[in-house]
Amino acid sequence: MNQNIQYMLYGLMAAWLIVVLYVVHLTLRENRLRKELDRVRRMVESGEKRQ
């Protein structure tokens, strides 16, 4: 393949790869935060019941 076209494709792949990696990072963080939020909510509820 012509090197010019090959590098154009590398450029496009790099752009979308960065977006995909960020979306994966966002998804993992969202899942972690949701789990943590549930855990802390349960902790607060159990504390209130004890009182």
20 binds other proteins per the rule CB under 8 A: no
24 binds other proteins (CB under 8 A): no
How far is 5 from 13, CA to CA, in rounded Å? 12
User: How many chain residues touch other proteins (CB under 8 A)?
Assistant: 30
User: Can you list the pairs that 10-17 forms with residues at least 24 positions away whose Cβ atoms lie under 8 Å?
Assistant: none
Distance, in Å, from the CA atom of 36 to the CA atom of 1, rounded to the nearest integer, reads 50
Q: Which residues bind other proteins (CB under 8 A)?
A: 2-5, 7-8, 10-12, 14-15, 18-19, 22-23, 26, 29-30, 33-34, 36-37, 40-41, 43-44, 47-48, 50-51
